Amino acid sequence: MTLKPTVAVCWIFVALSVCSVSLIADTVPVSVVQPEQQSIGQQLSLSGTLRARQHARLSARMEGLVARVLVDAGDSVKAGQVLLELDPALAQRRLQQLVAASQVSTSEWEEAQRLVSEAEQLSAQQLFPQTELALRQANLARATALQQQAQAALAQQQEVLDRHQLIAPFSGVIAAKLTEAGEWVNLASPVLELVALSPLYLDVQMPQEHFQSLLQLQQVRVRSDMQPDVELDAQLLATVPVIDAAARSFLVRLQLEPQAGMAQLLPGTSASALFSLAAAERQSVVVPADAILRHPDGSFSVFSVRDNTAYRRLVTLGRRTANGVEVRAGLPEGEAMVVRGNETLRDGQQVRISSLQD
């Protein structure tokens, strides 16, 4: 049985149509972008510890018996607030004695002053001997000295009594309560631990090879491990160019800029600082992060397009920037990178460019 010419042509047309549909179905639409040449600044990420500018273990200003502890761990206090009181009974009794002694000395001085004034008036009328006037003046000088001595002793005892109260030297939070009422404390005994929550410093150890890089520092951003979603500005406050012989590093201190979210940060917690340094003179190839594919073995690749065919390129990555990722090796020149549709691509697969992104 033979096909008529018209029927044969139809079958050939159908076969070609099927092949064409199959080829179109196997072609993947992709979006591509041309890699850019950029000058990339160096970025260095270091971890450190948040520290308070003021952190003190407070001691009583006198030795004595603790009468009252007015705060507890976790309490917020203001500068000048009374935190602890010692038993003031003996100091108050001594103060009363010195007040009485001061009153006596004042009375004696007033009497000596009256006698001298009287003698000076009579002496002016030549009715009083000069020797007696000199004696009264000497008694007045002695009474004046005794009055000053009594007043100094009274002021000293008043200071002793005031020192039976422990005053907060700065505002902050009580981190630890180390004594209770009824305990005897000495001058060197810490009784409370006080920490200021603001401002906060971040101390990091900078490797010695990056010491000179700080001269090109442009910006520092800090992320606390307690709040990894909050990025904070920081300023370079100080460097200690004394190398730690064991770690081969030196201390860099950053001060966090006051801003929203800092109230939640606590001294002693960890944080990381990202140092952004000035851009290098050389040009680097940068591709969007969407073009990068990560493999289970830790390697990276991109798909480049040449003649409507996608080719997998194993690449070596560098630094991450705001515009993408630096590609240090493995990327051919002049080929566009696939940024959409690369998830299921195969090496050598035919593609159809649906859009060319800027």
Q: What angle do CA 296, 319, 230 make, to 5 degrees?
A: 90
Calculate the average pLDDT of the chain.
83
Helix axes 130-162 and 89-124, enclosed angle (nearest 10): 160
Two structure tokens written together for 141? 């000088």
- Indicate if the pLDDT at residue 212 is higher than 50: yes
Percent of the chain topping pLDDT 90: 34
Q: What is the pLDDT of residue 357?
A: 62
* Secondary-structure class of domain 43-53+198-279 per CATH: mainly beta
Domain 30-41+283-357 and domain 55-84+171-195 have a common topology: no
- Indicate if the pLDDT at residue 210 is higher than 80: no
In what side-by-side order are the strands of the sheet with 190-195? Answer: 55-59, 190-195, 172-177, 76-77
Return contacts of 330-334, CB within 8 angstroms, 24+ apart.
331/35, 331/285, 331/287, 331/302, 331/304, 332/304, 332/306
Is the pLDDT higher at 112 or at 274? 112
Q: pLDDT band at residue 217, thresholds of 50, 70 and 90?
A: confident
Q: What is the pLDDT of residue 221?
A: 84
Q: What is the pLDDT of residue 15?
A: 44
Looking at domain 88-163, does it have CATH number 1.10.287? Answer: yes
Q: What is the pLDDT of residue 1?
A: 40
Identify the burial level of 187 via C-beta atoms within 10 angstroms of its C-beta, where 0-12 means exposed, 13-18 middle and 19 or more buried. Answer: exposed
Domain boundaries, the chain: 30-41+283-357, 43-53+198-279, 55-84+171-195, 88-163
- Indicate if the pLDDT at residue 109 is higher than 90: yes
Most confident of 6-20, 55-69, 212-226: 55-69
What value does the CA radius of gyration of the chain take, rounded to a whole number of Å?
43
Q: What is the C-alpha to C-alpha distance for residues 189 and 106, in angstroms, rounded to an integer? A: 40
What number of other Cβ atoms are within 10 A of residue 69's Cβ? 20
Q: What is the C-alpha to C-alpha distance for residues 176 and 173, in angstroms, rounded to an integer? A: 9
Q: What is the pLDDT of residues 246-291, one digit of tens each?
A: 767 888 888 887 666 555 678 888 898 888 776 555 667 888 888 8
**Under a CB-based contact definition with an 8 Å cutoff, are residues 254 and 273 in contact?**
yes
Q: What is the pLDDT of residue 71?
A: 95
Two structure tokens written together for 42? 């160096």
Give the CATH fold of the 55-84+171-195 domain. Answer: OB fold (Dihydrolipoamide Acetyltransferase, E2P) (2.40.50)
Two structure tokens written together for 265? 């940060």
- Indicate if the pLDDT at residue 242 is higher than 70: yes
**Residue 35's closest CA among 351, 339, 337, 354?**
337
Q: What is the pLDDT of residue 264?
A: 67
Q: What is the pLDDT of residue 20?
A: 43
Q: pLDDT band at residue 4, thresholds of 50, 70 and 90?
A: very low
Q: pLDDT band at residue 237, thresholds of 50, 70 and 90?
A: confident
In this structure, CATH architecture of domain 30-41+283-357: Beta Barrel (2.40)
**Under a CB-based contact definition with an 8 Å cutoff, are residues 21 and 346 in contact?**
no
Q: What is the C-alpha to C-alpha distance for residues 176 and 69, in angstroms, rounded to an integer? A: 12
Does the CA dihedral 234-235-237-242 come out positive or negative? positive
At residue 118, what are phi and psi to the nearest 5 degrees?
Answer: -65, -45
